[in-house]
Chain A
């Protein structure tokens, strides 16, 4: 079976298929195990805000790499070189806004979804405008992932997308439907390891084939070594456009409105730990991921250059890349010397990338479906069991919708990168700007939010047919002026949304000053300058920011007289924590490797009958933290 340079024999197809199937089954079993940690709807979607930073951070590795990433960035790496890393390494500019702004706002306000923030910050109408846009954003990603893995499977195994996509969707849908967020986090942790292993294996095989690292660098043209592409030359990939469209709009969208990522942050035990996860993600995970997904493209370029000068590499067949979309598959197959077992392992990484991204998005769409559609509009007062069942149905519906979108993607033309960003850059600008203004400008009004979102979205869509509308802006920022705007469209949409939003806000300030003043009062706790209010509301008292030392390895004593959600410690331990009566603390199983799987947030009090090696709590508190008998417990002060 030949596929643009990948000549798989019947035996090789069977081996690769068996390895992939085995992988999918292992992940499926792994995910299903964690269904037991879902007692209620909060556990299902947010895992009870209990995890240590490293667990969601590590699982974000896999979430950030989709099945499209390997194919898309290898293609980009081959075409333009190491500048393919730019999308993964330009997020730091927006990080202050996230770690000290958006993250504490949503965490302390106990916001469950971005549309819910819009309801509380603005009004119901704003909520439903944002809901439509955010669902479009997430469904776009789900469909795109299914589409890319579908065409890879079709090429490799000859299985039509009509069969491969629904089968994969079924496997993923089942473990997300029953496992919820905890299953997603733990399977993504496993899949992240798998992705990196397979990715490094593929890179090692490529570098080895070239004759070593210095050979690779030596044969890589100068243009392909650079971290940034030309400022304006390529209409579909240029530094100016990438800065405005990707580093600003794209990074803010990924951090601020991607419900899947936000839900990861909301599973973390505290905002401080969330900051650790964010820093780790941007400084470590994303750069490493950029190498994993793009390196095969850079290796391919060096291989081609060396081959052109010296002929086929010794011990390897001549490598031909007729269609750059298949760069990853062609180069891997050649450099592992057509070993079907190793190639199967690498193809499993593609599956891992697909599953880990889609499971997060399915869970996120289901969360939005429940919290923003079902609960407020269909059934306001139902039991947790009912909502849990509805959440599972929402996961099923999301999966089916994502699968159906593959039909639409098959009608699109252009490179994988351009299909991706053409869609995203139309969807995100208005919501990104409205979130930004809403979170960082307390005066921004509800009316302004609704009008600016609608106007911004409409005008951004219009630029698809009338790209000349963007000419002036592109000239102003010295960006490319070529009527093929992809990234500049996002900047244009953001600018229009922002200008309309500011204008309407000032109109309201001048014409209805009382309503304007009321609005500023109403939004306390939901903007960056009123975070003290948010923290006080979250704790139910004044925050205590003094840093103490954790108390570790305590024995649990059950006391039926104690209230649920309260634990008692000795005075010495309270002093060590620098905690006062009724401060919020985090109690967890002392085994670090559980990452907070067995833990909870509670209030602390001091009791004289508790010694320094004990912690006292009610049976209900013990159970809600999933503690086990005879296992030691540690305590950390939150504030």
Chain B
């Protein structure tokens, strides 16, 4: 990536990050409420996913991960697959926690 493009990308990303970090949780809380378990889930995976995506962007732009070189493509797919697996697993977990009745009467 050229120096000029990088000089635009980095400040742009910093600005976007600040805006995202400020507004995203406020949006979640206004939509779902503080007590909703999905708010926590979306907070964790929203910010986590953003940070994870920055990692993917960094490793590809710096050519630390080059598609087609050695086993890099395989590792990249595993990286994305692992994220999706954890994202899905936690969603199913919350669904089961909320959908199966509690025997003690009051939760």
Write the residues of chain A forming the contact surface with B, with a CB cutoff of 8 angstroms. Answer: 82, 89-90, 92-97, 99-101, 104, 215, 217-223, 225-233, 239-240, 243, 247-248, 272, 275, 279, 282-283, 305-306, 308-309, 440, 476-478, 528-529, 531-532, 545, 547, 639
Contact = CB atoms under 8 A, between A and B. Distances in A.
Contacts of B98: 222
Contacts of A239: 40, 43-44
Q: Main SS of the interface on chain B?
A: helix
Nearest to A272: B71
Contacts of B86: 89, 92, 283
B2 interface: no
A495 to B, nearest CB: 11
Interface string B63-107: 111000111000100110011011000100110111011111111
Contact of B64 (A95, A225, A229, A529): A529
B83 A92 contact: yes
B60 to A, nearest CB: 9
B62 A528 contact: yes
A477 B63 CA distance: 32
B43 A240 contact: yes
Contacts of A220: 102
A420 to B, nearest CB: 21
Given A219-B104, A247-B48, A478-B26, A92 B82 contact: yes
Contacts of A219: 102-104
17 contacts: A96-B52, A97-B58, A100-B59, A100-B65, A227-B90, A227-B94, A228-B41, A231-B29, A231-B34, A239-B40, A239-B44, A240-B25, A240-B43, A275-B75, A306-B103, A440-B58, A440-B62
A529 B44 contact: no
B58 A101 contact: yes
B44 to A, nearest CB: 6
Contacts of A221: 102, 104, 106-107
A435 to B, nearest CB: 14
Contact of B58 (A96, A233, A240, A639): A96
Contacts of A95: 52, 55, 79, 82
Contacts of A309: 103-105
B64 A104 contact: yes
Contacts of B71: 272, 547
A529 B40 contact: no
Contact of A279 (B82, B103, B104): B82
A82 B78 CA distance: 26
Contacts of A228: 37, 40-41, 44, 90, 94
Contacts of A639: 70
B55 A243 contact: no
A93 B86 CA distance: 10
- A92, A218, A309, most chain B CB atoms within 10 A: A92
A305 B64 contact: no
B55 A545 contact: no
Contacts of B97: 82, 222, 225-227
